[in-house]
Amino acid sequence: MSEGSFPPNSASSDRALRGIALTLAGGALWGVNGTVSKYIMATYGVDPLWFACVRELTACWLFLAMAALRNRASLKEVLHTPRALAGILRFAIGAILFSQVAYLEAINWTNAGTATVLQSLSMALVLVVVCIRSKRRPRHREALGLVLAFAGTYLVATGGDPSTLALPLGGLLWGLICAVAAASLTILPVRLMRQWGNFVVNGLAFLFSGLVLSALFRPWEHMPSLDGVGWACIGFSVVFGTFGAYALYLQGVKEVGSVRGSLLGTSEPVVATISSVVFLGTSFSAADLLGFAAIIATVFLTA
C-alpha cells in the first residue's frame, strides 16, 4: 500500500480523518502565528532576535516535557550519548536557529503571508537535493514545479516589473534564507528523529539553539516594553504557534504520511495571508497573489 493511502475500513478512515484534521490545524496555527508575530514586532518594536530567543528557550521545555511523558527512556539515553548530542547540536545550529531567525526577520521586513509563502520554496530546494543525491533528473511534474517556483518568486519580488523590486531587498533575502533553513529542517534531523523521537530531538535542539543565540545576542540587554496584550501575544506564539502547531502537525503527518502531510501543510501560507489581510489590513497585488499561487502549486507538484 502506498504512503498516505488507507484501506476502506472504519478504523483506518477515522485515523485518516483525524490525521488530516491535525495536520490542517497545525499548519493553520503556524499561519496565524506568523500574523501574531508581525503584530508583536510592528506594535511593540520587538527585535526578531529577542523574539527568537524567547520562543526557543520557552517552547523547548514544552517539547521536553512531552518527551519525558511519552519517551522518557530515549530522553535519558540520549543525554548520555555524546555522538547523538553532537548531531542534535548540529541540527540546532544548522536548521532550528536559522529557520527561527530567518522566518521572523522575513516577517519583520515584509508580512506573514509573503514570508510564509517564500518559506514554501523549501519544497523545491529539497527536490534539488534529492535529485543530486539520487543522480537523476527531475521528472516532468517536478520540473514544472521548479519553473513555477522561480516564476512565483519573480512575481512576488518584482510585482511583474523586472525593473523594480516590489519587496524590500532585506525581506527577499531573509525569505530565501528562510526557505533554505526550512529545507534543512526537513533533511537534517531525519535519522535523529527516527532513532530518538520527534519531541526528544526538537526539545533539545530548541534548547541548544536558544542558548547559542542568547550567548550571541544577549536578549536581557534588549528587553522590549510590553503590556498585558503584548505578553499574551508572546504566550500565544510560544504555546500555540510554536509548540502546539509543531505537535499537531507532527502527529498528523505520522497518521497520514509525509506526502499527504506536506500537501496539507499548505494551509500555513493560506491562513497566514488571509489573517494578515483580516487582522492587520495587509494588501496584496494581483501579481503577489499569482506568485503565491505558483509557489503553493510547487508543493503539490514536487511532493
In a domain, 211, yes or no: yes
Ranked by mean pLDDT, the top range of 158-167, 279-288, 293-302 is 279-288
In a domain, 223, yes or no: yes
Structure confidence at residue 104 (pLDDT): 92
Q: Tell me how far apart the alpha carbons of residues 116 and 288 are, in angstroms, rounded to a whole number.
A: 13
Range of the domain at 187: 39-135+164-268
Q: Tell me how far apart the alpha carbons of residues 121 and 178 are, in angstroms, rounded to a whole number.
A: 9
> How confident is the model over 219-233, as a mean pLDDT?
94
DSSP string, 228-246: HHHHHHHHHIIIIIIIIHH
In a domain, 286, yes or no: no
In a domain, 214, yes or no: yes
Does residue 3 have a pLDDT over 70?
no
Higher pLDDT, 200 or 264: 200
% of the chain exceeding 70 in pLDDT: 92
In a domain, 150, yes or no: no
Residues 98 and 212: beta-carbon distance below 8 Å: no
Higher pLDDT, 284 or 220: 220
**What is the distance in angstroms between the CA of the first residue and the CA of the last residue of the chain?**
18
Range of lowest pLDDT (179-183, 188-192, 274-278): 188-192
Q: Tell me how far apart the alpha carbons of residues 184 and 125 are, in angstroms, rounded to a whole number.
A: 9
pLDDT band at residue 220 using 50, 70 and 90 as cut-offs = very high
Structure confidence at residue 297 (pLDDT): 83
In a domain, 169, yes or no: yes
Does residue 70 have a pLDDT over 50?
yes
Range of lowest pLDDT (85-99, 120-134, 255-269): 255-269
Does residue 2 have a pLDDT over 60?
no
Number of domains in the chain: 1
Does residue 164 have a pLDDT over 80?
no
In a domain, 52, yes or no: yes
In a domain, 147, yes or no: no
Q: Tell me how far apart the alpha carbons of residues 111 and 98 are, in angstroms, rounded to a whole number.
A: 18
> How confident is the model over 159-181, as a mean pLDDT?
83
Q: For the chain, what is the mean pLDDT?
A: 85
